[in-house]
Chain A
Amino acid sequence: MTDTPSPLPGYVPTKLVDPFEIFVGPVFETGAPGSRHFIFRVDERHVNMRGVLHGGMLMTYADLTLGAAVWDATDYAPSVTLNMHTQFLKPAHAGDIVEVTPQLTRKTRALVFMRGDFTVAGRTIFTAESIWKLLGRD
């Protein structure tokens, strides 16, 4: 899927290194580190048998994009997800483009709190709040 063009002009592929993210990707982005805006187009791999975007894909996309924002916010410090809370507001379908600009809620020495409102055509379909632990920080 690495040669897939961006579904919208002005976006570049997000560099994915985790095998599971490469498997479910691609994801595209625009903007500078710290204020990156991400998009992905839902395709037939991502939906359930009713044609609705699978919650697992949305949560994976949330982990990927919020994680990238944590990376930006910490000078690329290694970190792990401690907790993720998600709410599923509306269904999405194949062909939809899911967008998010992750928002930093708070950063301490050891923890980062990051959230995102995920939209399709301007309407919020899903929210995620996550807590990340910076490895080696007390």
Chain B
Amino acid sequence: MVEHDPRIPEGAVNVSVGGFNRFVGPLFRLPETPGDEIRRFAFIVTDKHMNSAGTVHGGMLMTFVDISMSQTARAVSGAKSCSTVSLNCDFVGPGRLGDVIEARVKVTRRARTMMFMSAELVSGDHTLLVATGLWKVPVES
């Protein structure tokens, strides 16, 4: 990241530290609100995230929601890594250049080896994407 954008709050943690996450990032985990079961992540839309129609590419929106839900699965389960098994995304509205896009992730059910989650991507008052997904949680031996 070149310099800190004031729209990313103090206490946010860069979770795009390597691999594809870093390539498409930076992406941040936002500070938790005590008592709030929603986990939040954010990124700022730059030129590389766009499509030729002037909106954020659907692949980037799916990438961001996948990373946010995977991070949540890891944080909640304590596992080092969790794998996406299935992800369903509805593209509700377009994202724009310069937007701060926030992911809001909720765990629907945590079973021993599986986690069910839902998530929403929002920009300001606008919903961009809603997703449900299923993650495999490895059993620590």
Contact = CB atoms under 8 A, between A and B. Distances in A.
A82 B58 CA distance: 10
A84 interface: yes
Interface string A52-65: 00111101110110
Contacts, number: 109
A84 B52 contact: no
A21 B59 contact: yes
B67 interface: yes
Contacts of A81: 58, 91
Contact of B59 (A59, A88, A91): A59
A4 B14 CA distance: 31
B49 interface: yes
Tell me what chain A mostly uses at the interface: helix, strand, loop, or mixed.
mixed
Nearest to B20: A54
B67 A19 contact: no
B87 interface: yes
A86 B86 CA distance: 6
Contacts of B91: 80-84
A84 B85 contact: no
A18 B52 CA distance: 5
Interface stretch (A42-50, A97-105, A111-119): A42-50
A85 B133 CA distance: 9
Interface centre among B18, B48, B50, B58 (most CB of A within 10 A): B58
A19 B20 CA distance: 16
B96 interface: no
B51 to A, nearest CB: 4
A56 B67 contact: yes
Contacts of A88: 83-87
B85 A60 contact: no
Contacts of A91: 83
Nearest to B23: A45
A84 B20 contact: no
Interface of B: 17-21, 23-24, 47-53, 57-60, 62-64, 66-67, 70, 81, 83-91
Interface of A: 17-21, 23-24, 44-50, 54-57, 59-61, 63-64, 78, 80-88, 91
26 contacts: A19-B49, A44-B19, A45-B23, A47-B19, A48-B20, A49-B17, A49-B19, A54-B19, A54-B63, A54-B66, A55-B70, A55-B87, A56-B20, A56-B66, A63-B59, A63-B62, A64-B59, A81-B58, A81-B91, A82-B90, A82-B91, A84-B62, A85-B86, A86-B86, A88-B85, A88-B87
